[in-house]
Amino acid sequence: MILTVTLNTALDVTYTVEALVPHTSHRVGEVTERPGGKGLNVARVLGALGHDSVVTGFAGGPTGDVLRSLLAPLPPRDALVPVAGNTRRTLAVTDRSTGDTTQLNEPGPQVSAAEWAAFLRTYGELLADADAVALCGSLPPGIHVGAYAELVRIARAAAVPVLLDTSGEPLRRGIAARPDLVKPNAEELAQLTGSRDPLRAAGDARRRGAHAVIASLGPDGVLALTPDGAWRAAPPAPVRGNPTGAGDSAVAGLLSALAEGLDWPGRLARAVALSTATVLAPTAGEFDAGAYAELLPRIVVEPHPPTP
């Protein structure tokens, strides 16, 4: 079983309008709702790949009820911990005329000390059956900034490989707890280390405590710096589409390949193929299974720096 943690779950609401014009009223042509938050997105992709996955984190209030009802028929199993506050919503407004999307993200519910303690009990119980765990996304109000560092240490004490995918101060503190893998994008890595050279920044992140760093380079693929060496992995050609959820698909690829015992080139190829297939999918946040199968054997994985 693969466990994903989303402390700040969300109900993702998407409005589609013909054209988004500031300071005017709009008639919404289409409304979609789905359970969201990075770890839930990762678990959904894991389920599509055939992996048993469990989601935990927090859900509460009327919005949390809707989220859990939408989650119920999906492959990930629901182990979310109830809170008194209302789960946040993320509102995306898609402009048909340009294809652009405007995103509005609520902060999330206030989480009490008792609710955090209840989550820690659930987390510890779930780790007993986990092959790997992913800690994903932002922290809701009330959760201390070192929360991910605490969860990394608990996973390591249980001998469960742990991947951390967050940003800012929670990432800095989480890395110091020595996670097995971190997956920042280039901007998050630059903010962490002060360096805009991805290889130099990844090396700095490893010195800070991460065992392996997978830096997302957007359409250029990923850079991996691991105890076994450094690699670049990229799609065979640039693609156009919606990048929403591509990073979460990459995390699912890394976790599933880790659980299956693949080597680093195999893990990176799967991560890049899944993230690219997500960009190509007609529905934001999903991946195109046909494109994934066609891309996987064509992903270019090379040692980095390149050998002469």
Helix, strand, coil % over all residues of the chain, rounded to 5: 40, 25, 35
**DSSP letter string over 117-139?**
HHHHHHHHHHHTT-SEEEEESPP
Active site residue 100: no
Q: How far apart are CA 286 and CA 274, in angstroms?
A: 10
Residue (of 34, 78, 81, 77) closest to 52 by Cα position: 77
What is the crossing angle of helices 168-176 and 198-208, to 10°? 50
* CB neighbour list of residue 84: distance below 8 Å, 6 or more residues apart: 60, 61, 109, 112, 115
Task: Supply 105's token pair.
Answer: 């993200």
Q: Which residue is catalytic, options 12, 165, 248, 288?
A: 248
Q: Which residues are catalytic?
A: 248
